[in-house]
Amino acid sequence: MKFLSVPNSLALIPDGNRRWAKAHSFSILDGYSLGVKKFIDFSEWCKDYGIRNLSVWALSSENLRRHSGELNALFSIYRRVCKDKGIIGRLEENNVKVNIIGNREIIPKDLYAMLKVVETRTENNTGGVINMLIGYGGKDDMMYAARNMADMAKRGEEITESAFQGSLMSSSIPNIDFIIRTSGEQRLSGFMPWQTGYSELYFSKKLWPDFTRKDLYYALADYDKRERRFGK
């Protein structure tokens, strides 16, 4: 079924990997690994519906307070993904550009370097965009822009809304039309505060590894019925 309206820019908060692993007596590593594979599928489902700009919160700055063993497991998965010819091949086949967004100072240097290789390899793709937010926090993003604004003020430059937006760590991401968060959590946790002021929200009770193409259909069907007024 085709929808009358689909979001131009969709953001995903894929919550519930750890709970899924525990419920199925799997390791946290297995839960996160399946979650990453599910996201690749999800990106292709979105493309089938005509969604060209997809953002995913892969790791928040607050997540870095978790146990080192869990973080190391997650980092190892991302390293593996960066070297996975099958996954990279799917990105190339789908003509998708990958943007890496976040604080490079708070993730392992070797991992950041590997992620940037993927970004560089896909930079000329034109079939869609995946914004991968890793080591990202909304407050950090606003502070980053504020420091840039302070430097602009010192130089006597005009402080405008567009200038502030351009100073964000996440400046390349457009305003988000639709946010999906899984696992029943009903909050944004500081996710992209600048771009989400008028975002439509959808909270799925499914844990992320259990989320299916049909669940995306239900979410988009719900979005299609909404009237967006943007304060008017």
Query: What pLDDT, on a 0 to 100 scale, did the predictor assign at position 168?
Result: 98
SS3 of the chain: helix, strand, coil, percent, to 5:
50, 15, 35
With 80 as the cut, is the pLDDT of residue 142 above it? yes
User: Where do the structural domains in the chain lie, given as residue ranges?
Assistant: 9-136+176-223
Higher pLDDT pick, 179 / 228: 179
- For the segment 111-138, the average pLDDT, to the nearest whole number, is 96
Do residues 84 and 115 lie in contact, with contact meaning Cβ atoms separated by under 8 Å?
Answer: no
Q: Tell me the pLDDT band of 1, cut-offs 50, 70 and 90.
A: low
- For the segment 1-11, the average pLDDT, to the nearest whole number, is 91
Q: Write down the residue that tokens 């070297």 correspond to.
A: 83
Task: Give CA–CA dist 24/198, Å, rounded.
Answer: 37
- The residues with which 129 forms a beta bridge, in sequence order, are 53, 97
Q: Tell me the pLDDT band of 68, cut-offs 50, 70 and 90.
A: confident
Classify domain 9-136+176-223 by CATH number: 3.40.1180.10
Q: Tell me the pLDDT band of 2, cut-offs 50, 70 and 90.
A: confident
- For the segment 166-171, the average pLDDT, to the nearest whole number, is 97
Query: What pLDDT, on a 0 to 100 scale, did the predictor assign at position 65?
Result: 83
Mean of the per-residue pLDDT values of the chain: 94
Higher pLDDT pick, 70 / 7: 7
- For the segment 31-58, the average pLDDT, to the nearest whole number, is 95
- Indicate which residues carry an active-site annotation: 15, 63
Would the pTM of this model clear 0.75, i.e. be above it?
yes
Task: Give CA–CA dist 43/54, Å, rounded.
Answer: 7
Do residues 136 and 170 lie in contact, with contact meaning Cβ atoms separated by under 8 Å?
Answer: yes
Question: Quick one: CA torsion of 167, 168, 172, 173, rounded to 10 degrees?
Answer: -150
